[in-house]
Amino acid sequence: MRTQGLWFVLLSVLVLSSPRAANSAEPQVQLPQPSLPNNVPIPNEYGAAATFSEEGFVNRADDFHSPLGTNGRSCASCHAAEAGWSVTPAYVTARFIATAGRDPLFNKLDANNPTLDLSTVWKRREAYSMLLRGLFRRGGTVPADRDFDIVAVDDPNGVGSTTVFSFYRRPLATANLKLATGVHWDGRFSVAGDGRPPRLGLFQQARAALMGALEAPRDPPPADALVNAIVDDEVQLWHAQVFVPGIGRLDSCGGRGGPEALSLETTRVGRFDLYDAWLDFVPNRCDSRPQAAALRAQIARGQQIFNTRVSANGGTCLGCHNVANNGTHSNDLFFDIGVSDAANRPAGMPLYTVRKRCAPADSACVVEEKQTTDPGRAIITGRFADINRFKVPSVRGVAARAPYFHNGSAKTLRDVVRHYGEQRGFNFTEQEEQDLVAFLRAL
C-alpha cells in the first residue's frame, strides 16, 4: 500500500462539517462530527471528493449508519463517506491499526477463511489480508440448472470447491443510485422492470445485508419499514470529485464537476459534457493562471477521448458507460473485460477451471473450458456464456475509491487506462493516457 494513500485517509477521518470547510477551495481538516454537511471536501490522492445529500447533510445517525444487527456493523461500515461510499485499503488499514483488528468491520464472515484463528493481532492481520486490500470474500454454490461444471480449483484460502465458488470483490459505492441500473456486480439483486432508482433491487440488497453482513435476526426478518428507511438513506446521496490540485474547484469557469451538479442529472443515454466549457481553454478573466488553463484543457481532451475514441474492436468507453455524466449502462448489460482471466490473477485469488456441458443430443455444442478468479454473472444465471461478465459501475467519484475493477487489480487510474488500452485494443498514446487519467480524476 502506498504511504500517501494511508495519510489521505487518516486525514479524511478528521474532516468536519463546517460552513468554512464547505465553501473553501482547499480541503479542511478538523475534528469529526456526527453529521457531515453537504459539499465538504474529503481528501484523496487525486484531490478531494464530496457528498451532496438531498436531506441537506449526511446524517450519521440514520438507519444506514446505525448498527442494526448483532455484530456492531452498520451499512456504513463497508460504505463510508471517507472512502467514496465504499472502502479502500488505506481506510481499512487505518481502522485495523486503531482497533488492533477488533473494529466491527473485521468479522470472521469476511476473513480469508471463516475458520481461521483470530486470537491475536498478528493472526488477525494474516486472516484479514484480503480485506486489508479492500476486498470482501463472497461466493455461493453453483446453480443446479447450470450448463457448466467446476473441474479444478486452486484456492489459497481453502474455501472454494467444485460445488462452491469463493471469490473477492470490492464494495460498490452506495451513492448516485438514482442513476443506477442493476444492483450488485453480478446483478443478483436486479429486478426486471425495476424503476430508477432500482428500488426493488436496492430493497432486496439492503435486506440481505441486514441478515448477512450485519447478522440481524432472520426469524422474524427485518421489517419492511426498516429496510425501506435504509434505501431512502442511500438513494439521496450523491458523490463526486470536487477539487483537483492545480485547478481548484471543478465547478469553476464553466465546469460542472462535483456532486451537487450530478444530483440534477437524469438517467439518459448521452455523452459526458461536464467539461465542454474547458475545450481549448486559455487563460481568461475567470482564471488567469496558465498552468490551470492547461490542466482544464487536458481534462476536456480526456473527456473527448472517453466519448469518441474507437478501439480496434469498434468500441468506445462511452459505449459501455453510456448513462450521461454518470457512466453506468442504461440497459444493465454485463461485460467481460478480461479482469477475471487467469492471466490477470492477483495474488491470493482463487482460480477455477470451468468446463461447458454439452447434452449428448446436441451435436452442435462444443465443449470449452475457461479459467476464472470470479465467475461474475454466471454464479446467478448458471450460464457458461456469462462467466467473467460484470455490471458497468458508475465512474463518478472514482478518484476516492482506488483500487479499481471488481477485484482491485488496477491500483491506479493509469492502470485502468492501460488495461483497456492493452486488453480492448485502444492503443492509447502516452499523451492520451495522461489526458484520460486527468478526466477520470476529475469525475
181 compared with 375, residue with greater pLDDT: 375
Q: What SS3 class is residue 370? A: strand
pLDDT-based confidence at residue 32 (cuts at 50, 70, 90): very low
Contact 213, 78 (CB under 8 A): yes
Strands (E), 233-379: 237-244, 248-249, 334-335, 351-356, 369-372
How high is the pLDDT of residue 137? Answer: 96
How high is the pLDDT of residue 33? Answer: 58
Instruction: For residue 410, give the DSSP letter.
Output: B
- Which pLDDT tens digit goes with each residue over 38-57? 999 999 999 999 999 999 99
Distance between CA atoms of residues 395 and 321, nearest Å: 8
In a domain, residue 150? The reply is no
In a domain, residue 154? The reply is no
| Mean pLDDT score across all residues of the chain | 91
Distance between CA atoms of residues 161 and 116, nearest Å: 18
Specify the range with the lowest mean pLDDT, choosing from 184-188, 236-240, 371-375, 420-424: 420-424
Cα torsion angle, 130, 421, 45, 279, sign: negative
Angle, helix 290-308 to helix 430-440, in steps of 10 degrees: 100
pLDDT greater than 60 at residue 11: no
129 compared with 18, residue with greater pLDDT: 129
- Which pLDDT tens digit goes with each residue over 135-171? 999 999 999 999 999 999 999 999 999 999 999 999 9
- Which pLDDT tens digit goes with each residue over 314-325? 999 999 999 999
- Which pLDDT tens digit goes with each residue over 217-253? 999 999 999 999 999 999 999 999 999 999 999 999 9
pLDDT greater than 90 at residue 281: no
Mean pLDDT within 120-146: 96
- Which pLDDT tens digit goes with each residue over 70-99? 999 999 999 999 999 999 999 999 999 999
In a domain, residue 29? The reply is yes
pLDDT-based confidence at residue 443 (cuts at 50, 70, 90): very high
Q: Which residue blocks in 104-198 are alpha helix, DSSP H?
A: 121-127
Mean pLDDT within 389-399: 96
210 compared with 27, residue with greater pLDDT: 210
Beta-carbon contacts of 214 under 8 Å, excluding residues fewer than 6 positions away, are 67, 68, 69, 70, 71, 73, 74, 75
Mean pLDDT within 286-315: 94
How high is the pLDDT of residue 66? Answer: 95
How high is the pLDDT of residue 424? Answer: 86
Distance between CA atoms of residues 136 and 406, nearest Å: 10
In a domain, residue 84? The reply is yes
pLDDT greater than 70 at residue 326: yes
How high is the pLDDT of residue 222? Answer: 95
In a domain, residue 187? The reply is yes
pLDDT-based confidence at residue 9 (cuts at 50, 70, 90): very low
Residues linked to residue 43 through DSSP beta bridges, in sequence order:
48
pLDDT greater than 50 at residue 20: no
Q: What SS3 class is residue 119? A: coil
How high is the pLDDT of residue 10? Answer: 46
pLDDT greater than 80 at residue 19: no
- Which pLDDT tens digit goes with each residue over 333-380? 999 999 999 999 999 999 999 999 987 777 778 889 999 999 999 999
Instruction: For residue 302, give the DSSP letter.
Output: H
pLDDT-based confidence at residue 16 (cuts at 50, 70, 90): very low
In a domain, residue 319? The reply is no
pLDDT greater than 60 at residue 65: yes
In a domain, residue 135? The reply is yes
Mean pLDDT within 170-191: 94
Whats the size of the chain, residue-wise? 443
pLDDT greater than 90 at residue 122: yes
pLDDT greater than 60 at residue 31: no
Number of structural domains (the chain) is 1
Calculate Rg over the CA atoms of the chain: 22
Its domain, for residue 218, covers 3-141+168-237
Distance between CA atoms of residues 262 and 241, nearest Å: 10
pLDDT-based confidence at residue 411 (cuts at 50, 70, 90): very high
